[in-house]
Amino acid sequence: MLSSSQWRTTALEHGAVPLIERTLRRIRAQDRSLNAISVLLDDEALSTAADLDSSTNPGPLHGVPVLIKEEVDVRGAPTTYGTNANPTPAASDDEIVRRLRASGAIILGKTTMPAFGAFPFTESEARGITRNPHNPRFTPGGSSGGSAAAVAAGWVPFAIGGDGGGSIRIPSAHCGLFGLKPARGTLPGELWCRLGTAGPIARTARDCALLFDALSGSEAIESEVASLRIGVSLQPATPLTPPHRDHVRAVRRVADQLRGLGHTVSDYALRHKDPTAAFVTQFFAGIREEIAGLEYPERIEGRHKVTRLAGAWAQGPALRWAEKFSDELGEELDRVFEDVDVLLTPTVASRPARAGALSRKGMLAAQIASLPSVAFTALWNVSGHPAMNIPAGRGRDGLPVGVQLVARDERLLLNLAASLSAP
């Protein structure tokens, strides 16, 4: 498993083409069991690699392969949103893909997701079931489950996900990866109205930072983290979704590690307005907007035909209220970071579900099954704050455990994550 810097060094010394050829062969052989890839762009990837091999001006991600979640436009590949309803290839790249290409990255293809990213399980009628590389009997989470599975399998050092309610952080937790949801407005484009944004999923904190820098147009800044005030909260969004004991232990373990690094750590009582109504409104509005833009909306899954009908109210005054509430909640939670510098929480409340968790579930049942996964993540989508999953060992089931860090600034999260993962 090469890091991005090792990829770059090897591409410069020996050429990007043989590296990409081997990677494509490996993905084709191994993805039969994981189902993480929706499309591979073999010819384009190899053509890009050949161009890079003749380049005299290598970028910071020269020759490094990247995979992109299905909902992001990549020239020459359909933007399916996890459905069969949008078969025509996109004519141009999304801005974040253009930034990746400008940095020298090679776009290998696109990764699987549940239809419209609606659930924290990567399963759909169009793509089937995506499985966790740590144990294929379990889900990698979602909705960026294909991206997380591909990174965890070691095919690429990082990938692009999208996060509207936890969809980067949840699969990162289930797959033992670093996953960052940037702050609202940091990256171009929005998902689900004001809720979502694209972001990086990576095996290491450094790779997560490098990919974030390429996406944001910033320059990598690594610095030692001064003594911070860390607040620990085990409070989920609803009392119906208490955190699993493995996650509580992981939070306490990371809290002890932070104390050992010289930070002040104490329990923190997180108080805020209930974000549920604002989240649900933007969730329905965002999916209805995506459905409206499809070439063949009649091809969507039956449960999302229900979603479209059930969300008919999520527009006009209701949507404007929800977006205004998001801004107000962001201001309210800013005050948390006057008391502490970083908040430490579980990433999810529950352990990874068995693969096939959505089988035969309608829209309502699927949403209920999703609640434990988003109990600690969705709040920060509504508020717009950056939040990050970091690996925190394994549970008693042998699968990875993650914890969530939240702050005002992405760079603080990335540097703190790097300090926690340093040898």
Nearest to 268 by CA among 230, 237, 300, 224: 230
Tell me which residue has tokens 């762009």: 41
Question: Which pLDDT does position 220 carry in this prediction?
Answer: 61
Residues with catalytic roles: 69, 143, 167
Per the rule left: phi > 0, alpha: psi between -120 and 50, beta: everything else, 116 is left
* Phi and psi at residue 343, to the nearest 5°: -105, 135
Question: Which pLDDT does position 123 carry in this prediction?
Answer: 97
> Distances in Å between the alpha carbon of 366 and those of 130, 338, 373?
16, 37, 12
The amino acid sitting at 250 is: A
Nearest to 287 by CA among 74, 112, 132, 85: 85
d(CA 254, CA 217): 31
* 144 cis-preceded (ω within 30 degrees of 0): no
Q: Which domain holds residue 311?
A: 1-423
d(CA 30, CA 252): 36
Torsion of the alpha carbons at 28, 21, 64 and 153, rounded to the nearest 10: 30
- What DSSP letter does each residue of 196-223 carry, written as one string? BEEEEEESSHHHHHHHHHHHHT------
Question: Which pLDDT does position 421 carry in this prediction?
Answer: 87
> Distances in Å between the alpha carbon of 267 and those of 65, 147, 232, 376?
41, 33, 5, 16
**Which H, E and C letters describe 148-165, residue by residue?**
HHHHHCCCCCEEEEEECC
d(CA 234, CA 242): 8
The amino acid sitting at 4 is: S
d(CA 257, CA 232): 13
d(CA 29, CA 23): 10
- What DSSP letter does each residue of 262-318 carry, written as one string? T-EEEE--------HHHHHHHHHHHHHHHHHT-S-GGGS-HHHHHHHHHTTTSSHHH
The tens-digit pLDDT sequence of the chain (423 residues) is 889 999 999 999 999 999 999 999 999 999 999 999 999 999 999 999 999 999 999 999 999 999 999 999 999 999 999 999 999 999 999 999 999 999 999 999 999 999 999 999 999 999 999 999 999 999 999 999 999 999 999 999 999 999 999 999 999 999 999 999 999 999 998 899 999 999 999 999 999 999 999 999 887 666 778 899 999 999 998 888 999 999 999 999 999 999 999 999 999 999 999 999 999 999 999 999 999 999 999 999 999 999 999 889 999 999 999 999 999 999 999 999 999 999 999 999 999 999 999 988 999 999 999 999 999 999 999 999 999 999 999 999 999 999 999 999 999 999 999 999 877
d(CA 330, CA 339): 15
d(CA 111, CA 37): 4
Total domains present in the chain? 1
Torsion of the alpha carbons at 8, 11, 14 and 15, rounded to the nearest 10: -170
- CATH number for position 128: 3.90.1300.10
Question: Which pLDDT does position 1 carry in this prediction?
Answer: 80
d(CA 207, CA 297): 38
Tell me the HSE value of 376 on the side-chain side, using a 13 A CA sphere. Answer: 30
| Residue 354 burial class via C-beta count within 10 angstroms: exposed 0-12, middle 13-18, buried 19 and up | exposed
First to last CA, the chain: 17
- The predicted model scores a pTM of 0.97
Question: Which pLDDT does position 258 carry in this prediction?
Answer: 98
39-50 pLDDT, tens digit each = 999 999 999 999
